[in-house]
């Protein structure tokens, strides 16, 4: 017998029949199941998320700070010296005399005694008008003079007899008075004849035309054989005085007070004359006349200067550039003209500080001669200013002073290319980061 209680028998499950590996003939096999589809989408999402994180990191990361390289500029110190105060104007060469020689009477021109472009002196023979008709008129006047003189002599003789008879009361008083009047008439006739003779003598002088002034004759206006008249407007010739000559120019009304102050003090203001292109000095002269009226249309006043013109460098009616020296400033602060800039602050210069930085420094400008400009206020002698390389400067910029030649355009281009290369080098780490991220994502996939 057994000590354990009786237990109910446990039912056992019969084993299942084995599943056949191949489908029964005549039935369609089930479609194959896709393995890992959900995992692939998860991998793509992770790659996209990684790319987004890399892009956000590149866009929002702080660029590495780098110090700006000092600008290489040319500097020069402010100096003291003299500066001429001048006025520049456009002028015209105005001859002292321009004379159109006109005939004084009518007649045929028989001779021309000058060459075109010839220099003549006052009184030199120019042309001849046929004098014969005036010689005949003179002879007639002389004959009339002889006749009137004879009549006058007869009247005076009769007056003497009438005077004796009148004293004896032998003739009427009226006869004596009439004889005195007759003598006066004959005397007047003689004077008239003498005047006619002088007129014809003058006409004979006018027949021989001479130069009224010294100068240069222009082109011929009339040829021998032509009949000229006193009313002819073309004339026989035109004579222009070449030396000395004058130059006429205008100055603005704002500058007139300085000129008048110097002229009224007795100063002889010199002028320098340049050609129309203002590249060559032609002559020098002295201001001698100022017009008495202001041109209201232009606000200018006309001045005239005398020029010797011994070498005849100035030609009548030529346009020239005139520089009038009004005064000369002594011990003025001078800077090279390229150092002066104009902008929003006004007139300013870039002042070089002790720590090789620049600062915008406002100044008050005075006269300039093109190379140097006077600084009347805002700058002292000895202070250094930038004269070249100003287009790349700003207030507080660091510089590297240089007294050599300014950088050329080629050097500036090379500098710009170097800066661009440096910028590309700075952005290279970001590109490397993006490339490595993309490589990692592709390896993961």
Instruction: Sketch the domain layout of the chain as residue ranges.
Output: 72-83+332-402, 86-96+243-329, 98-239
C-alpha pair distances (Å), 136 with each of 140, 359, 374:
6, 96, 78
Q: Which of 63-72, 376-385, 421-430 has the lowest mean pLDDT?
A: 421-430
Q: Which CATH class is domain 98-239?
A: mainly beta
DSSP E strand boundaries for 363-433: 364-368, 372-377, 384-388, 399-402
What pLDDT sits at residue 62? 55
Which DSSP state fits 219? S
What pLDDT sits at residue 264? 92
Average model confidence (pLDDT) across the chain: 82
437 has a pLDDT exceeding 50: no
C-alpha to C-alpha distance for 434 and 58, rounded to whole angstroms: 8
107 has a pLDDT exceeding 90: yes
3 has a pLDDT exceeding 60: no
Mean pLDDT within 165-185: 90
CATH topology for 72-83+332-402 is 2.40.420
132 backbone dihedrals φ, ψ, rounded to 5° = -65, -40
pLDDT in tens, 213-231: 999 999 989 999 999 998 7
What pLDDT sits at residue 48? 86
What's the CA angle centered on 367, arms 245 and 296, to 5 degrees? 60
Is there a shared CATH topology between the 86-96+243-329 domain and the 98-239 domain?
A: no
pLDDT in tens, 80-100: 999 888 899 999 999 999 999
Q: Which CATH class is domain 86-96+243-329?
A: mainly beta
pLDDT in tens, 263-274: 999 999 999 999
Residue carrying the six token digits 């393995």: 35
C-alpha to C-alpha distance for 250 and 254, rounded to whole angstroms: 12
Report helix angle 132-167 to 173-207, nearest 10. 160
* Cβ count within 10 A of residue 399: 21
* Higher pLDDT pick, 67 / 288: 288
| pLDDT band for position 441 (cuts 50, 70, 90) | very low
pLDDT in tens, 306-339: 999 999 999 999 999 999 999 888 899 999 999 9
Do the Cβ atoms of 131 and 108 come closer than 8 Å? no
What pLDDT sits at residue 70? 83
pLDDT in tens, 181-202: 999 999 999 999 999 999 999 9
């Amino acid at each position: 017998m057994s000590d354990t209680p009786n237990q109910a028998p446990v039912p056992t499950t019969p084993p299942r029949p084995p599943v056949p590996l191949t489908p029964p003939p005549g039935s369609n096999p089930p479609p194959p199941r896709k393995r890992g589809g959900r995992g692939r989408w998860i991998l793509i999402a992770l790659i996209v998320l990684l790319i987004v994180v890399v892009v956000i990191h590149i866009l929002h990361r702080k660029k590495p700070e780098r110090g700006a390289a000092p600008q290489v500029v040319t500097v020069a110190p402010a100096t003291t010296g003299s500066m001429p105060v001048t006025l520049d104007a456009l002028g015209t060469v105005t001859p002292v005399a321009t004379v159109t020689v006109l005939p004084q009477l009518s007649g045929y021109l028989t001779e021309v005694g000058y060459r075109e472009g010839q220099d003549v002196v006052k009184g030199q023979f120019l042309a001849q008008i046929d004098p014969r008709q005036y010689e005949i008129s003179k002879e007639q006047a002389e004959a009339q003079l002889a006749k009137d003189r004879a009549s006058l002599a007869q009247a005076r003789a009769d007056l003497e007899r009438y005077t004796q008879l009148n004293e004896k009361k032998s003739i009427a008083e009226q006869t004596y008075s009439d004889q005195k009047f007759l003598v006066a008439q004959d005397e007047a006739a003689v004077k008239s004849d003498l005047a006619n003779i002088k007129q014809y003598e003058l006409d004979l002088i006018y027949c021989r035309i001479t130069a009224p002034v010294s100068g240069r004759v222009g082109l011929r206006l009339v040829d021998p054989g032509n009949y000229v008249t006193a009313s002819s407007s073309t004339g026989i010739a035109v004579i222009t005085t070449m030396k000395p000559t004058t130059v006429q120019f205008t100055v603005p009304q704002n500058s007139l007070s300085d000129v008048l102050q110097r002229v009224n003090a007795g100063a002889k203001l010199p002028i320098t004359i340049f050609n129309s292109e203002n590249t060559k000095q032609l002559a020098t002269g002295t201001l001698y006349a100022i017009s008495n009226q202001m041109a209201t249309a232009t606000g200018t006043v006309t001045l005239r200067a005398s020029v010797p013109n011994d070498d005849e460098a100035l030609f009548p009616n030529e346009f020239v550039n005139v520089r009038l020296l009004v005064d000369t400033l002594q011990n003025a602060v001078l800077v090279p003209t390229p150092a002066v800039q104009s902008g929003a602050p006004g007139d300013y210069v870039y002042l070089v500080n002790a720590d090789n930085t620049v600062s915008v420094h406002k100044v008050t400008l005075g006269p300039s001669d093109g190379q140097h400009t006077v600084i009347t206020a805002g700058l002292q002698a000895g202070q250094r200013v930038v004269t070249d390389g100003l287009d790349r400067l700003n207030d507080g910029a660091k510089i590297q002073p240089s007294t050599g030649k300014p950088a050329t355009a080629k050097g500036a281009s090379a500098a710009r290319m170097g800066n661009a290369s440096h910028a590309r080098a700075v952005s290279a780490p970001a590109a490397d980061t993006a490339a490595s991220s993309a490589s990692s994502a592709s390896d993961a996939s």
